[in-house]
Amino acid sequence: MMTQPIPLTNLQARDIASVLHPYTPIHKLGEMGPLVIERGEGVYVYDTQGKPYIEGMSGLWCAGLGFGDEEMVEAATAQLRSLPYYHLFGAKGTESAIELAEKLKEIAPMPISKVFFTSSGSEANDTQVKLAWYMNNALGRPDKKKIISRMKAYHGVTVMSASLTGLPYNHMGWDLPVDRVLHTDCPHYYRFGAEGESEAEFVARIVGSLRDLIEREGPDTIAAMIAEPVMGAGGVIVPPAGYYPAIQEVLDEHDIILIDDEVINGFGRTGNWWGCQTLGMKPTTISAAKQLTAAYAPLGAVMVPEDIYQAYVDHSAKIGTFGHGFTYGGHPLGCALGVKAIEIYQRRDILGHVRKLAPVFEKRMRKLADHPLVGEARYCGLVGGVELVADKATRRSFDAKSGVGAQCARFCEAHGAILRGIGDTIALCPPMIITESELEELFDRLEKALDDCE
């Protein structure tokens, strides 16, 4: 099926004239649309022509409660009426921030002492790095500062979080990554397993290469490793069983903390509150954002245990003020919506719903795996990635410039589904409130788009 060029609407023309679009091949913006979205309801969004699309990506992996949830709208309105803005600097506080910190401690996968609020996932991960450095200065280990990340990881776009990210577009042209960041192997067996290597052998090999990296650099120079339980924006990569426990052993041996980036995984996406619970990871600290507020307002959070918090206190006692904080970190609107979102996840048993739908998601992903264009269909809970290949038998990828993922995502749009092309992979991350029939419909539309690509 060919997409016909259609004349630009007034809003599209104004968009092209004035908006610099993130994560867009901006040299081709005119050809691509843009698709201007006007409103949303449930799992659907509508463009300015009134055409509905199933939002199969929850926006950017974040709108877990879909669009237009009245309870969320009411919580936002009430908070804006009572206190539209206040901050937490200089020992000020707000009820919404206190309540959200308490809620996060209640649902955390390990004992948490304090929550530091940011406005985004990137700021949360940036903060994590600064806190790891601050902690090691406090502990009298000023050389223990490098951070290990992984190829294909996604941790954000600020200078440090983009450096942690292991994707070419985040480094090329931006003079990144910065010093002190080391990248180790991506735990993707389908793509990086050697010929004839079993999954267990693959895990042993890449964990061995992590150990070599640490020993080569010197454990006394390495503060932390950061990892998403299921890697999201790198193409939805679910590491093999046994990977995290093996990694953990190496990190523990060398006194390296594990920063768990739950920005996509958190709040039910994998069927548990946290991806680390699904994947068997034992984090030292956690970054959260996105579904923290179900994307009804921007907010991020860093969660730290008591012993680490005490190190900050000791250091502050020595050097003075804990000099870190964002004007909008812990914004009352975001915090009130975080409290409400968690309450809804609990009251409506959203995690139970994800678990109930996961077998349907799995059944449809397995069916997609049989499609001649699909090399691998991977999934966990309600997140998945469908990797398209030029040759199924040999796993040969499409030419890097083929744009097959983006093309398939455009065909999806033509069929009324919004999904995301990440390189050769089509990502799926529907709102967690999606019904079974809406989910089946989403897959039907994706199948039609795949047939268009042939």
Contact 265, 228 (CB under 8 A): yes
Residue type, 167: L
Site membership for ligand PLP, residue 120 (CB under 6 A): yes
* Binding of residue 261 to ligand PLP (CB under 6 A): yes
Position 260 contacts ligand PLP (CB under 6 A) = no
CA atoms within 13 A of residue 320's CA, in its CB half-sphere: 1
Site string for ligand PLP, 209-238 (x = CB under 6 A): -------------------x---xx-----
Q: Using the rule CB under 6 A, is 122 a contact of ligand PLP?
A: yes
Least distance (Å) between residue 123 CB and ligand PLP: 7
Residue 338, both tokens:
């975080």
Find the binder of ligand PLP among 145, 146, 152, 155 (CB under 6 A).
155
H/E stretch holding 450 reads: helix 436-453
H helices of 19-151, in order, are 29-32, 58-61, 70-82, 95-107, 121-138
Contact status: 388 vs ligand PLP (CB under 6 A): no
From the list 149-157, 201-209, 309-317, 440-448, the region that binds ligand PLP by CB under 6 A is 149-157
Let me know if 137 is exposed, middle or buried by CB neighbors in 10 A (0-12, 13-18, 19+): middle
Residue 156 binds ligand PLP (CB under 6 A): yes
Q: Least Å distance between CB 429 and ligand PLP?
A: 10
Per rule CB under 6 A, is residue 302 in the interface with ligand PLP? Answer: no
Residue (228 or 376) nearer to ligand PLP, CB:
228
Instruction: Please identify, among the stretches 14-22, 40-48, 256-264, 373-381, the one whose residues bind ligand PLP according to the rule CB under 6 A.
Output: 256-264
Which helix (DSSP H) or strand (DSSP E) does residue 414 occupy?
A: helix 404-414
Cβ 144 to ligand PLP, closest distance in Å?
23
Please pick, from the candidates 88, 289, 389, 426, the single residue that binds ligand PLP as defined by CB under 6 A: 289
Cβ-based neighbour number of residue 400 at 10 Å: 9
Beta strands 420-422 and 114-118, pairing class: unpaired
Cβ neighbours of 115 (radius 10 Å): 22
Mask 51-90, x = binds ligand PLP (CB under 6 A)?
Answer: ---------x------------------------------
Q: Counting contacts by CB under 6 A, is residue 413 touching ligand PLP?
A: no
- 36/349 Cα distance (integer angstroms): 33
Q: Which member of 40, 64, 121, 166 binds ligand PLP (CB under 6 A)?
A: 121
Least spacing, CB of residue 61 vs ligand PLP, in Å: 6
Query: Which residue, 328 or 411, has its beta carbon nearer to ligand PLP?
Result: 328
Structural tokens at position 298: 């921007």
Interface with ligand PLP, residue 271, by CB under 6 A: no
* Distance separating alpha carbons of residues 8 and 34, to the nearest angstrom: 9
Query: What is the distance between the alpha carbons of residues 339 and 71, in angstroms, rounded to a whole number?
Result: 12
DSSP for 167-235, written as a single string: -HHHHTTTT-SPTTEEEE----HHHHPPTT--HHHHHHHHHHHHHHHHHHH-GGGEEEEEE-SSB-TTT
Q: What residues make contact with ligand PLP under the rule CB under 6 A?
A: 60, 120-122, 125, 154-156, 228, 232-233, 261, 263-264, 289
